[in-house]
Structure formats: structure tokens, C-alpha cells
Structure 1
């Protein structure tokens, strides 16, 4: 296994116990005036596999956190993120690993040309696009570096950089009609107490065929570490946080991509306000997993909640929780099963190699 890069741009060493924890203020659980509709309770017992959770083979290369995932065919790509450093703490990595969902095996793929964590990743036209992310030394800064990956060749090619002013990491990302949409994100993440987290409300679109960027109406409020999915032409941005690890939000914003002038509308809020969420859409529903910002006795901990949003009825359902609660992971659906490799099982930087799958019963 290739050692993680150690260049100033690619690496940063942090204390695992508080690596990414910046603010431990009491989380905001809801915005005033939000109406919480009835929520369907979870089953009294966990469902059998086929309707619930299943453990899978751990990430072969070891623990990974603050990465992104993408699926092409039956392969799940784990891209960038942070990994444990040999000297202690964590470093940003360029590693790309692939889980074959048909064989249940791992393999390595060509590494990112530039190591980054919180990368903005999407699949369009059978290729993987990385449109910026975060990396750096004492403070993680947004990168404009962009690349496209051709799976048949196992090769990354550079793209023109993200336009100045639109660069960020940890954005909500969705794809519709060959266009990649990014909402929110953060331009700076400074580890340590009271470290700067520069959250943005920016929304933009990248047209894969032409390489052209356009700017769209901003989110009603800034968000990072947020869930995002496009279902039937509507872009949904769920939960996340605003300028602080514990400043979590329950908001759900939606924008019809065929009627951009209408801007963003509010939908039913999440039952549990969370940031650092993993998420995936299956059919008309968006599934959200885990997260961070659960402050208990002054200590930032992780969430284990699994909650699903029905885009047709604007309602939420609570489901069986994650067997291993964690944040800073990512999820992707392949054939109706949602795969979630890695993440952190403690607040801040605490990467694990855990890998599991969830097969929705509510369809």
C-alpha cells in the first residue's frame, strides 16, 4: 500500500481526540417557527438483511474519513479524505480504493492527482468528476483543482479549475441531465478550539459537456457537511451545519431545476438536526445516516440515526440505526442497496475502516 503523501499541501497532523472539533456550543435543533409533521416510528426490532443492515469487508487500506464515494456499475469508489498518520493524528490522502459489490472485494485505483479531503464528487456520463475540496497545513483551505476519472483507463485527467469565488469543499452535490449541481460547502476549516469554519450559501452548476459554470440562487442559509440529492428534477439540501461542528441544522431546502427563478422552498425538517451526514437516494426517498454535533455533557459525539425522507409526501420515517454510529462518512446506492464505507466514530478526526450496507425496506 502506498504511503499517504506528506507534502505541505497534502498533509496535516492533528490530535485525533479533537482534530476537527471547533465549537462545542449547544446545537440548534430547529429554527423557530418550523413545524415538525408526524414521523413514522422505527420498527420495534431490527429487520433481517434484505430490509436492514449488513456488515461488509472493512476498507482494505485501513481507516478513512471525510472522503467521498461514487458508484459506476457495481463498483463503489472511495475518494480522498483523511487517514491516520504514522506519527499520530491524521493526514489528507490522495488514495482511491474500489469496492466490488458483486465479489465483495477491494482493489486500488489510480490516486487523485492532488490529495484532498471533503472533495465534491459526482458521476456524469460514466465518469467521476472531482470539483475541488479541502487541503492544506495548519488550516484546510478550499482547492480549485478539478479532475475527471475514466474508469476504463484507470486514469485521472485535469479539468480547468473551479472559477475563483466558487471553490469550496463539503458541498451538497447532485447530478441532473449531465449537469453537476453544488450547494453550500466551506472555504476554510481550521482545526482546534474556535477554529475558523467559513461556511457558504453558494449554489453553482457545472455543465460536464461544455465545462461551463453557472451561478444559481443561493441557499436561504449557509450550510456545510450537508446532505444533497436530486430526485425527479428537484435538488434537495438536507441538514448540515453552519460555521461550527455543533451548530447543526434540521432544515430541508428544495429547488425545482426546471424553475430556477422560483428559488428555494422549505420542506419538512429532519427529525434529528445533524451535520456530517451520509446520504443516498433510492427511488423517491432520500436516506440519511449518522452525523456529528450530538453534544452530550459538553462532549461532541456522533449520531447513529437513520432517517428517510419521502419526496412525494414531504414526510420522514425513522429506521433502524447504524450498527456503528459515525460521521464524516459517505454513502451511495447500487442496485437498491446503500453502501457506507469508513467515517469517524468519535467527534472530530477518528477514522475507522468499518464498512456496512443498508437495504431499504420502505420502498
Structure 2
């Protein structure tokens, strides 16, 4: 299952997946309150209080989800038969109602993006953006914009150094720019960083080592990528093309100074999440949240010991105080 969340125009595509597991229902996470007991942060989880209304999307994984106008939008992904899709759905948290927007279009609408999974899906301003992914015939490198208020898709063409086709990458918005990081391309795992200026005219820029200072994250896919306070953050990811090996580092990118910074033990306090990939990573009220994913207990790969396993832990990082906190669950309705 692919998850994308946004808040205050800061969006991150996150992926949580486990082969063979699909969901036909929708859970809403409410962190109702924090309670401090013996130094632990505790929070409650709640599901919807009533049945969902409307046309609930069919089960899928590798899809995108983003917020605009107080609504959640779900696009694409792969279903139970591994068939990739390009349907679009809207969820209203206030009414718990789904609306299928696949066949609803405004005037002068471009064709819907072709079916795909493990793509970038992000919100910036009043628009949603789709980039790349895996389609029916291979990797994709196309860019699309969706205007929820007008129900209109636009296929975008931007000059400059555009990202090559890829999947499992990060897509995030900071200010009036989109950023693409990493993923899996035709040549293998990637750690390149691109930015797209959303002000007319659109233009791609490759932020390579000649123009960026600091140490960039190693090549990876299925990573966490989010924006807070105008800065971008990378957490975890799958760092090998096969077998799967998870990472646990947290990186910060400053677009103004074009500098990467590894937020290791000398910078942060608290206990960071263990190594993982395919996790949820999202910004909320100036903080970053990590949920779930897949990893090896005790280390970043098989050498660390233990069998690879899916996780269900929740962690919070505060960029202002540079502090990690694990949030324990006290209620599970």
C-alpha cells in the first residue's frame, strides 16, 4: 500500500507494502493526545466510527495519496491481480465519504495519466502532481498536474535537465518547487536530486555534486521524503537492488544553501527508528512522523540478525529541537 500525506503544502510520498496483503477499507489515524508516563510518549489510535460511504476504492498497493482542499485523493496503484490502475478517488474525512472521480472531468481536460504504481504523488498549492512510476510497459518519466477545483488533468512538459524514468522515488513540495529524489531507474538505484520550478515557465534543474555541498544519501528506493519549514528530509529506504537492505539515516537538505546534512548522533537526541524501507513518512504541524515499513531487527541487513519483517511502530522527529520520540499506543479501537 502506498501512502502519501501532506500538510501546509508540504507533501511526501511514502510507501508501506507487503506482498500479498491488500486492503479494501480505510482507516483514519487520530493522534488524540499525548500523555507522559515515566518519560514515555503515549498516543491513541482510532478508526472511523461508522461505515464508509460512497464508492470505496478497490484493494491496491503502490498507489499515491495526497491532501488538497481538506480532502484526500488516491490515484493509481496495483490491484490484487497485479494489474496497474489509473483511477482517481476523493475521500472527505468530515463525512467519511468516497467519490470516484475517474470519469468526472472538467472542460478542456488532458487524458488521465496512464496506469502506474510506485510513482511520485505530491500536493503543492491547490494542485496535485504525478511523476514517474512503473507502468504496464516499463518505467515512466512523465509529469502531470491535477486541479481538484476544476477536475482537470494537464500533461506537463518542462525544459531543462529532467529526471530519467524511475519508480520508488521521493516527490515533495517546498515553497513553489517540486523535488524528486532517488528511486530505481533503468541503470539501478539512484540518489540524484532534481527540482522543478512551478512558476511559469516550468523548468527542471539537476542538483548534482558540482552545485550541492555536503554528503548526499546513498542510492535507494522506497524511501521517506518530506518537507518541513522549507527543508527536505530523507529517512530510510531500500539500499540494494536485490534482496533488500534497509537504511536508518536521516538526512536534511537545505534548498536555499544547497547543502545536505546527515542528522546523526552528534546532531539529534532520543532514539531514532530502526532501519527500514517502504515506510510511511509524513509532515504534520512542523514535525515528521515515521510509521511501519519493512526491515531487519537489530541491523540494516541480514548481518544484523533476525528475519525481515513488517513493522507497526510510530516515531516522531522534531526538526526544531532535533529530537526523536517513539509514540506508544495506549488505545486500539
TM-score band, normalised by shorter chain: 0.7 to 0.9
The Cα of 1:184 is off from its aligned counterpart by 1.0
The Cα of 1:214 is off from its aligned counterpart by 0.7
User: In the alignment, which residue of structure 2 is the partner of 1:202?
Assistant: 142
The aligned length equals: 274
Normalised to the residue count of structure 2, the TM-score between the two structures is 0.73
The equivalent position to 1:240 in structure 2, one of 163, 167, 183, is 183
Residue 179 of structure 1 pairs with residue 159 of structure 2: no
Q: Is the 8 A contact 1:249 1:274 kept in 2?
A: yes
Q: Is the 8 A contact 2:128 2:147 kept in 1?
A: yes
**Structure 2 SS opposite 1:251:** strand
The Cα of 1:281 is off from its aligned counterpart by 0.6
User: In the alignment, which residue of structure 2 is the partner of 1:353?
Assistant: 312
**Structure 2 SS opposite 1:351:** strand
Q: Is the 8 A contact 1:80 1:93 kept in 2?
A: no
The Cα of 1:153 is off from its aligned counterpart by 0.4
The equivalent position to 1:335 in structure 2, one of 282, 285, 291, is 285
The verdict on how the C-alpha distance between 1:252 and 1:79 changes in structure 2, with shifts beyond 3 A counting, is closer
User: In the alignment, which residue of structure 1 is the partner of 2:44?
Assistant: 105
**Counterpart Cα distance in 1 of 2:14 and 2:218:** 28
User: In the alignment, which residue of structure 1 is the partner of 2:22?
Assistant: 92
User: In the alignment, which residue of structure 1 is the partner of 2:36?
Assistant: none
The Cα of 1:94 is off from its aligned counterpart by 2.6
Greater fraction strand? 2
Gaps of 5+ in 1: 1-65, 84-88, 189-196
**Counterpart Cα distance in 2 of 1:69 and 1:211:** 20
The verdict on how the C-alpha distance between 1:233 and 1:326 changes in structure 2, with shifts beyond 3 A counting, is same
**CA deviation map 1:90-111 (0-9, x unaligned):** 3222342232234221122449
CA RMSD of aligned residues (A): 3.0
Q: Is the 8 A contact 1:79 1:97 kept in 2?
A: no
After superposition, where does 1:57-206 map in structure 2 within 5 Å?
Answer: 66-70=1-5, 82=17, 90-103=20-33, 104-109=43-48, 110=52, 112-137=56-81, 140-160=82-102, 163=111, 165-188=113-136, 198-206=138-146
The Cα of 1:350 is off from its aligned counterpart by 4.1
Residue 284 of structure 1 pairs with residue 230 of structure 2: yes
Q: Is the 8 A contact 1:224 1:241 kept in 2?
A: yes
Residue 304 of structure 1 pairs with residue 248 of structure 2: yes
Q: Which has the higher contact order (CA 8 A, sep 6+)?
A: 1
Q: Is the 8 A contact 1:217 1:260 kept in 2?
A: no
**CA deviation map 1:247-276 (0-9, x unaligned):** 210111111111344x31111463321111
The Cα of 1:362 is off from its aligned counterpart by 7.4
Q: Is the 8 A contact 1:216 1:260 kept in 2?
A: no
